[in-house]
């Protein structure tokens, strides 16, 4: 216990110290929101990766989908690395940096407003971000608290309060640079922690080969894991017991990053387009270790199936699978695991609250409710909203935990489905296709939010994960179709925007329509 406490205290001291150290970089709006657009590839890549992977992945997704799909869950981690990281950087990175810099856009709603010359579009995007980032933030709290209870026997409520206060403190102090530097430190902890935990768990089951043999002898249980009765060895097969639903998870968690404001905004802040290639490689390696390792670990969750608690309906408590898998590790490794998940969670939480507070201030309040808003007023408002956002999401996390209605994975799916379903296609086409129209963006917003919300009420799609994946893919079809049948945007203005934005991107054609 003493070792675990020392590790936690050291982590907290370093985190707060970084907040104080970077506060001078957060004295104006651009510095607070984007670090002055001077963040290098290493910090940006780690900020991207640590915002991507939190307790939601390590505890929620790895536990639930490792239980359901066995070792085939590793495909989710590979999709996160090569689609959610590598391809996202190469397709979006340079163009996002170039166009947002030219438009002087600091947030995703600001990009939509400037790119499509529509203030209502900007306000609507801000509203979607504020509403649907909250359930994602609540899910981050949930995953962390379960490990804290296992390691320290600290009640869930105290974990939420402590995490909220610590995150508020360093983000309010240092803004984006505080999150970026802390993300780098926390990312290093995550890399070491994931490797150490996997090695310890496999060693506890006689090594990799013995663990695989043991897993191959687990029979599927339709009620608990989604596999058919008596399917010996199904959890070590290449595609697992349920390939269609596995594909839905891969699409949601991999393609989703392309439309999430807290992820795409990392490209706004990188100091130059030449840093994109290095950042892409660093981010991909990080994702391979953290995401691949998390899902690989979760794939062995059924080895402790007898110890995993059940819900009143007989379904395993998926969020307890990974904590149960780790519960018999030595105290030193448990302490490292707690710091690992705390690192992952706080990095994601800080990115979420910074995105939400800046979006509400710059895209909703400024110019609509406060016509003339000075630099100091904007900074003060962002910091106040940051605290409010953390508080609201903490209350929702407490309610969700006490009601035991929804697992972590489902909370995240609702958030990602609405956000990425709304923004992915308009943002991608807006960067590459001059013919993209304002009407197509509105159609995508309505389709994605309508699908996710109606499915929450009526449940016509078997899971919110599949609903979110359909929202994303559907948007990629809706935007070009609506653009082709709606009034064409001003061609000369679009030509000028693309030419001026991509003047220095010689690897991209700038005259394609």
Domains located in the chain, CATH noted: 2-109+141-408 (1.20.1730.10)
Give dist(CA 45, CA 254) in Å, integer. 16
CB 143 within 8 A of CB 56: yes
The C-alpha atoms of residue 77 and residue 431 are separated, in whole angstroms, by 27
For residue range 426-475, what is the model confidence (pLDDT) as tens digits? 999 999 999 999 999 999 999 999 999 999 889 898 888 899 999 999 99
Question: For residue 147, what pLDDT is reported?
Answer: 64
- C-alpha 463/C-alpha 446 separation (Å) is 20
Dihedral (Cα; 402, 406, 411, 412), 10-degree rounding: 120
Considering only CA atoms, which of 453, 377, 457 is closest in space to residue 415?
453
Q: Is 15 exposed, middle or buried (0-12, 13-18, 19+ CB in 10 A)?
A: buried
Q: How far is CA 495 from CA 16, 183, 244, 298, 440, in A?
A: 47, 38, 42, 49, 19
Residue 232 confidence class, pLDDT cut points 50, 70, 90? low
pLDDT digits (tens, 9 = 90+) for 74-122: 999 999 999 999 999 999 999 999 999 899 898 999 999 999 999 999 9
What residues are paired with 310 via a beta bridge?
316
**Could you tell me the pTM of the whole model?**
0.86
Q: Which two tokens stand for residue 306?
A: 């007898």
Mean pLDDT of 324-333: 78
- The two three-digit tokens of residue 75, written as one number: 């495909």
Mean pLDDT, rounded, of the chain:
84
Q: What six digits make up the tokens of 510? A: 């700038």
């Amino acid at each position: 216990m003493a070792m675990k406490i020392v590790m936690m205290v050291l982590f907290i001291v370093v985190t707060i110290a970084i907040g104080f150290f970077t506060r001078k970089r957060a004295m104006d709006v651009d510095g607070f929101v984007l670090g002055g657009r001077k963040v290098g590839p290493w910090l940006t890549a780690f900020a991207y990766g640590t915002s991507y992977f939190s307790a939601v992945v390590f505890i929620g997704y790895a536990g639930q989908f490792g239980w359901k799909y066995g070792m085939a869950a590793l495909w989710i981690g590979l999709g996160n690395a090569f689609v959610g990281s590598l391809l996202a950087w190469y397709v979006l990175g340079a163009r996002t940096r170039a166009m947002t810099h030219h438009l002087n856009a600091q947030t995703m709603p600001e990009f939509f407003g400037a790119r499509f010359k529509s203030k209502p579009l900007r306000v609507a995007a801000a509203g979607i971000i504020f509403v649907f980032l909250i359930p994602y933030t609540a899910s981050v709290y949930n995953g962390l608290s379960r490990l804290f209870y296992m390691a320290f026997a600290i009640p869930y409520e105290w974990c939420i309060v402590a995490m909220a206060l610590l995150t508020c403190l360093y983000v309010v102090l240092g803004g984006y640079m505080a999150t970026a530097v802390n993300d780098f430190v926390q990312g290093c902890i995550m890399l070491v922690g994931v490797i150490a935990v996997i090695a310890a768990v496999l060693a506890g089951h006689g090594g990799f080969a013995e663990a695989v043999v043991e897993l191959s002898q687990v029979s599927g249980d339709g009620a608990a894991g989604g596999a058919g009765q008596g399917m010996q060895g199904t959890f070590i097969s290449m595609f697992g017991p349920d390939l269609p639903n596995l594909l839905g998870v891969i699409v949601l968690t991999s393609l989703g990053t392309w439309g999430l404001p807290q992820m795409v905004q990392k490209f706004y802040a990188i100091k130059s387009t030449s840093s994109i290639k290095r950042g892409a490689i660093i981010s991909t390696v990080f994702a391979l270790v953290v995401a691949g390792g998390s899902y690989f670990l979760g794939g062995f969750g059924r080895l402790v199936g007898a110890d995993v608690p059940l819900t009143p309906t007989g379904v395993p408590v998926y969020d307890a699978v990974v904590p149960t898998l780790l519960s018999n590790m030595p105290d030193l490794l448990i302490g490292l695991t707690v710091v690992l998940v705390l690192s992952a969670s706080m990095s994601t939480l800080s990115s979420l609250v910074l995105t939400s507070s800046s979006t509400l201030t710059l895209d909703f309040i400024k110019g609509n409710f406060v016509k003339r808003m000075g630099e100091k007023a904007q900074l003060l408002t962002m910091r106040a909203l940051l605290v409010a956002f953390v508080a609201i999401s903490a209350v929702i996390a407490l309610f969700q935990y006490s009601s035991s209605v929804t697992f972590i994975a489902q909370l995240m799916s609702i958030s990602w489905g609405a956000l990425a379903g709304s923004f992915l296609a308009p943002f991608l086409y807006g960067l590459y296709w001059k013919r993209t129209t304002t009407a197509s963006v509105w159609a995508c917003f309505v389709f994605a939010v309508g699908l996710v919300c109606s499915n929450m009420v009526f449940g016509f799609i078997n899971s919110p994960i599949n609903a979110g994946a359909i929202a994303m893919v559907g948007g990629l079809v809706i935007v070009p179709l609506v653009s082709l049948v709606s009034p064409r945007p001003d061609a000369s203005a679009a030509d000028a925007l693309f030419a001026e934005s991509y003047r220095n991107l010689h690897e991209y054609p700038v005259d394609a329509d």
